[in-house]
Structure 1
Amino acid sequence: MSTRTLYLIRHGKAEDHSFSKRDYDRNLVDKGKVRSRLIGLKLKHQLTHNNTLLISSSANRALQTAEIFCDLLNYHTKDIQLEKSIYEAYFLEILKAINKVPNDIDTVLIFGHNPGLSDLTNYLCDSYIDLKTSHIAKIILPEGFNFSEVSGSTCQLETVITE
C-alpha cells in the first residue's frame, strides 16, 4: 500500500472584480502567472508522476493556474478534469469531488478558490490555515487510505508551499 497525497492549490492572483466582467471570467494578472510558475517549480521537485490526477474549477483563473502547472509538470492540459462544482464551492462540495477519485490514483491536485480550499484543509487536517493566492496545501492521507475514504480529521497537513 502506498500513501496518497492531496495538493489543494489556490489559483494565482486574478484581475480585480469589476462590473464589466463576471467573476467566473476573471483572468490571471501577470503577478499571478509569475507566482504560479515559481510555486509550480517548487512542486515539480517533490511530485512523482505515477497515477496523478489534476482537477480544476472551470473558472478562468483556476484553469489558467492549472495550465501553468501542467506546463511545468509535463502534464497534458487536455487531461485536466474540469469540475464546475469547485467554483465558489462550500468545502464539502470540493470533498465530494475528491471522494469520487478512482482508487488507482495516488496523487491529486485540486485547483480552486478560497474560502473553500482553506476550509477543506482545516476540516481534513484539524489545522488553521488561510491559503494565499498560488499557495498549496500538501496533505497526506493515512497509510492505505483511498481518496474515497477522506473525511473530517482524517489527514495530515504536511506543509504549505509558498514562494
Structure 2
Amino acid sequence: MEKKSLYLVRHGKAEEHTFTKKDSERDLIQHGIARSASIAETLKQRLLPIDEKTLIISSTANRAAQTAKIFAEMLAYPAENIQWEPRIYEAHYLLILKRINDISANYDQVLVFGHNPGLSDLVEYVANEFVNLKTAHVACLTLEEGIDYASLSANTAKLDNILTEG
C-alpha cells in the first residue's frame, strides 16, 4: 500500500463577523487571498503530482470554498472535482474524521479545507500533537504504515510539519 498523506487546511483570513451577513457567507479578504495563494505555492513543492489519486474536500462556507478554489488553481487540480461537504462547517473533529474515513484507499493524498477548532483538534487526535492552525495554515500529516483513510483514528498519523508561510 502506498503511504497516504493528509493535508488539513484552515480557510484563509475572512471578513469580520457582522450582523448583516451569516457566518457561513463571510468571504476572504485580500490578505486571505494572497496568503492562501502563497501557501498553496509552497504546498505544491511538497505534493506528489496532482492526478486521479488526489482528492480535495471542502466545507461549503464561503471562506473555506474560496480557499479550496485558490489551492486547486495553484495546484492545477480541476475545480469541478472538489467534493463539497456542508457537514465540515463548524464540525467537531470526530465528524470531520468520519468524513475522512469514507475516503477510498485509491487516493494517496487528500486535502481537507475547513475550520477551527475542528481541524486543530483533529490533528491532535490523529497525531497526538497539539496545534492551533491559523488562517491558511496547512497541517501536513502522513498516515502510519498500513493505515488508509478508512482506518485513520487516534494516534495513527504523524504530523510532518505545518506550512505557515509561502
TM-score (norm 2): 0.97
- For the 8 Å contact 2:147–2:156, the answer to whether it is kept is no
Aligned partner of 2:76 in structure 1 is: 74
Unaligned runs of 5+ in 1: none
Aligned 1:67-146 pairs, distance under 5 A: 67-146=69-148
Structure 1 residue 2: Cα displacement: 1.2
Identity in percent: 48
Q: What do you get for the CA RMSD once the two structures are aligned? A: 0.6
2:160 partner SS: strand
Task: Give the Cα–Cα distance (whole angstroms) in 2 for the partners of residues 64 and 43 of structure 1.
Answer: 17
**Moved >3 Å (runs of 4+):** none
Aligned to 1:46: 46
**47-56 or 132-141, larger mean C-alpha shift:** 47-56
Q: Secondary structure, in 3 states, of the residue corresponding to 2:46?
A: coil
Does 2:9 correspond to 1:12?
no
3-state secondary structure, aligned to 1:12 = coil
Q: Could you tell me which amino acid in structure 2 is paired with residue 105 of structure 1?
A: Y
TM-score by length of 1: 0.98
CA distance in 2, matches of 1:103, 1:69: 23
Do the aligned residues in 1 keep the contact of 2:6 with 2:111 (CA within 8 Å)? yes
Distance across 2 between alignment mates of 1:70 and 1:6: 15
Give the secondary-structure state (helix, strand or coil) at the position aligned to 1:8.
strand
Structure 2 portions without partners, runs of 5+ = none
